[in-house]
Structure 1
Amino acid sequence: MNITSSRVVAAAAAALVILAPAPPAAQAEEPGTLVNIGDSIASDPVVTDWLPYARRIPTAASEASPIGCPTGPNTYGKQVAAGLGLVELDYSCTGMAATKPENEDLAETADTAIADGALSANTRRVLVTIGANDAYDARYNPAAWNVEAFVQAAAVSVEKIKAAAPNARVQIIGYPTIADGDDVCPIHVIPSQFVASPAVSIPQVRAAENIAQDMQKQLAQRTGVEFVDMKPSTVANGMCAPDGQRQFAGVIDTTGPGNNLPFHANAAGHAHIAEVILRS
């Protein structure tokens, strides 16, 4: 081959390289998601969002929710999602229950999350916090008779969640310690580092707390998912704990870590629950 022919071949080869289609760009992987389903312990809206919601008045917080329920800005669900590098899809709502259709219903919520595509093969973690509102009757008496009914009803939803999100770890999140034996401490207005506020004997609170714990453990066992037990690590952090230790707010609580709702986990409580889940 002479020099001229060589140059022609080289030029043709170069043209083919230029004209050849570039290999397809790598598709950016869709970020994994965490789906948070649960009651007010999980949703923890600020009172100024919850009050309008209770009156069916929309707010920015309720409109941001896929089910129209306001949620707090720094719940343990949001903290866990951030810690795992996941996108949180928050389907939690105050009042959610499995056996009280008049409440926000677990079954309807799970079905909505599935229909929305929130529960999918891309879901990496599902947190389910449910049972507190099923553990007492219409007069707020402990409802031990409702344990099996709760497990049967909630298990249907958990099985649907597992099927819709086959790659996810599904965790039933236990409730932190609330009462101190038969006592609760509803009022915290005088700062004290060492002494809790005066206690009031209301044994029904601990009874309902124990029933909810039993409900959750049996639900996890029935469906073969994880139960994250919050009781052991919060035994000294309930409503009657001193200001610096308290992780569950009183009804009026101006001295402990900040809280969004009365008689719910406070900021320290949410941080602790998130830490336990992240270590699980």
Structure 2
Amino acid sequence: MRATSIRRSTGKIVGALGLAAAAVAATTVVTTPDATAAPGPAVILGDSLAANPVPVDYLAGKLHLPGKTNVVGCGSDGLAASAYAAASGRDVVDATCAGASYRTGGDHMITLAERAANAGKLNQGTGEVVILAGANDTYPHMINGQPIPAVENDLKVSMVNTINRVKQMAPNARVKIVGYPQITGPDGSVCLINNGDQTLPAAWISAPVNDAFGIIQRAGINAARETGATFVDSQGISKNNSTCAPAAQRYVAGIVDTGTAHNLPIHATDVGLRAVMDHAGRV
């Protein structure tokens, strides 16, 4: 073979290898880890509805005893976190605490967020912050005679402050305010004594319960609107699942309640908490 032919053949081979290398490089850019990485983790902040502790774990968190506690040191059964993880496809950090509120008693939502941040679990890599709370910011003030509009406005302001503080700590996170599921039946009734499918409405408490959860719903909607957060409505998916619903359909238990698994009275049943967090994880 002549030298000229050898050079031409070599040039073709080198050119082909160059094109192949370019193709590989192009393919590598398309399939970078950033393009296929799992979404950033979610952090759930919440009160006892979200924490859902059994009494032993609640005491473990309060008295620093052996038990099932979460990243902020509070008792939790982890059901809310596991349901949200399954629905959203994200890793989830449980930063919920029974007795917590936005501004009233127990640990405040901002405090829980700061604890999660101090533990390295809430930061620029956080993808979502999910907040389910507010009940403890209603009835104490209503019992003390504070007008409903004032209770609602104070709660909304506290929600706004919480969202803004969370955004400072987790600037890349989407913030979701999750509303409570339906407590009252279609006629506004609340059932506190439930024996399986047999429910007993308690007319005397219906009005204040409706007022309290109306406050939470409206405050959440308005706080989300003012801050660019997302409000997740849980009432639409639970309109037939109140305290007065048949046992298998109840999302919220009564004070005495048989036939439906739950950890705490007047709190979400297991099926109810799963439904709420599954819905929130898909929004």
With the shorter chain as reference, the TM-score category is 0.7 to 0.9
Q: Distance in 2 between matches of 1:74 and 1:266?
A: 11
Q: Which residue of 1 aligns with 2:130?
A: 127
Report the AA paired with residue 138 of structure 2: A
Distance 1:259 1:140, change over 3 A: farther
Match of 2:11 in 1: none
Structure-2 residue corresponding to 1:46: 54
Shift of the alpha carbon at 1:57? 4.6
Corresponding residue of 1:188: 194
Aligned with 1:37: secondary structure?
Answer: strand
- Distance change >3 Å, CA 67–CA 278, structure 1 → 2: closer
Asked if 1:58 is matched to 2:58, the reply is no
| RMSD (Å) for aligned C-alpha atoms | 2.4
Q: Return the structure number with greater helix share.
A: 2
Identity %, equivalent residues = 30
Cα distance in 2 between the residues matched to 1:278 and 1:127? 9
Q: Distance in 1 between matches of 2:44 and 2:127?
A: 11
Partner SS for 2:268:
coil
Contact between 2:49 and 2:267, CA under 8 Å: does it hold in 1? yes
Alignment deviations for residues 224-248 of structure 1 (CA, whole Å, 9 cap, x no partner): 1000001112111010011121111
Q: Does 1:167 align with 2:169?
A: no
Residue from 6, 9, 33 that aligns with 2:41: 33
Q: How does 1:10-159 map to 2 (within 5 A)?
A: 32-53=40-61, 56-62=63-69, 65-75=70-80, 77-100=81-104, 102-137=105-140, 140=143, 144=148, 145-159=150-164
2:181 aligned to which of 176, 183, 191: 176
Segments of 5+ residues of structure 2 without an aligned counterpart are 1-31
Matched residue, 2:231: 227
Residue 252 in 1 paired to residue 260 in 2?
no
Number of matched pairs? 245
Contact 2:41–2:128 (CA under 8 A) maintained in structure 1: yes
Against the structure 1 CA distance between its residues 146 and 230, is the aligned structure 2 distance closer, same or farther, given a 3 Å change threshold? same
Equivalent position to 2:200, from 173, 198, 201: 198
CA-to-aligned-CA distance 1:111-157 (integer Å, 9 cap, x gap) = 22233332222211211112111112267468522222222223222
State the distance in 2 between where 1:53 and 1:114 align: 19
Describe the shift of the 1:247–1:131 C-alpha distance in structure 2 as closer, same or farther (beyond 3 A): same
Q: Show the counterpart of 1:13.
A: none
Mark the CA change 1:164 to 1:96 in structure 2 (over 3 Å): closer, same or farther: same
How far residue 87 of structure 1 moved from its aligned partner, in angstroms, is 1.9
1:208 Cα deviation after fit: 0.7
In the alignment, what sits opposite 2:240?
236
Measure the CA separation in 1 of the matches of 2:166 and 2:142.
31
> Could you tell me how far apart the structure 1 residues matched to 2:141 and 2:174 are?
34
